[in-house]
Amino acid sequence: MSARVSVFPVRPAAEAEGASLRNVDALVERGLVAAEARAPLDAVARRYAVSLTPAVAALIDPSDPADPMARQFVPDAAELVTAPEELADPIGDAAHSPVEGVVHRYPDRALLKLVHACPVYCRFCFRREMVGPGGDALTGEKLDAAFAYLAARKEIWEVVMTGGDPLILSARRVREITARLAGLDHVKVTRWHTRVPMVQPERITADYARALLVPGKASYLAVHANHPREFTPAARAALARLADAGHVLISQSVLLKGVNADVATLSALMRAFVENRVKPYYLHHPDLAPGTGHFRLSLAEGQALVKSLRGHLSGLCQPTYILDIPGGAGKIPVGPAFLSGCETPGSGGVAEDRDGRLHAYPPA
């Protein structure tokens, strides 16, 4: 697949202002969708939420039918095709949800799903059957029950705030959450998962960045981005405010056909993260969410792409290629192997270097 890293000129800030585009009519009016495509896309929008922030809309090149930003955020008639293997809950959240709003799949960490809405809706979202503007935030008795569960499980060392996108919450609500997290003595690490710094960077003020800190805890923030074009000057400034406030920034990306599934784009994306003090963390193989087959490539193709990064890109830029096993069994690394022939204890092996040359390694 050819590289797609050419720079599309970002529109001036004044042109990126205004309301989010939340339906097909708005996309047609903006010139991001052809009028004749309205009927099938209306059917998509009736099933899956649509929203593009002004910052995202400004990054789309409407003259390019294969624009990688449009592919991420503009609905596509292909979303109406559901393959037999696709699942409404592809990673099995429900099977590991002891109380509403909590997913406790691994012993030492739990997800706290604070909201069901996002500022943008990714067309490949693994929670697309559960998120949207009509979803309720976790409040009142439901929030109390979620925190009671977290408080009672002393093995929980890390709490991950997710959704939806938890950074759509106001600074006041965020401070209420962080105050409650601060009271959980056994929790040592907190982590926020978000696209907001990239798609709505104006929300990340210095005050908001400080509000996300939990007193007495190590604070991590996982930033979701899939294409180097997302690193606009405004997004870079938002990331700097978060890093300067004291958050450790890590990345989350999804390997997507037509968006970043080539060496040049992946390399540029990972370098952009590192240049902005974001440590590449997970590169996800696309989940089996309904209507997302047009984004998926094979695991072998993904492994070959990730393998091409090793040795040709700084170690700081290497993500872990991850598969979330369908049904809820958890994440596993599925990156390529560079060592073979060492399966038997005491045996040596054959090591493959960055140029594909093989080297014998002696037995112990």
What positions carry a catalytic annotation?
105-106, 109, 118, 122, 125, 127, 287, 324, 331
Token pair recorded at residue 318: 């290497």
| Phi/psi-derived region of residue 278, left when phi > 0, alpha when psi is between -120 and 50, beta in every other case | beta
Distance CA 363, CA 349 (A): 7
Q: Residue 348 CA to chain centroid, in angstroms?
A: 39
Q: Is residue 298 within 8 Å of residue 336, measured between CB atoms?
A: no
- With 0-12 CB in 10 A as exposed, 13-18 as middle and 19+ as buried, what is 109? middle
| Distance, CA of 116 to CA of 133 (rounded, Å) | 7
Q: Show the tokens assigned to 138.
A: 């976790």
CB atoms within 10 A of CB 139: 13
Which residue stretches of the chain are H helix?
24-30, 38-47, 54-57, 68-73, 140-152, 171-182, 196-199, 206-211, 233-245, 263-275, 299-309
Query: Do residues 23 and 45 lie in contact, with contact meaning Cβ atoms separated by under 8 Å?
Result: yes
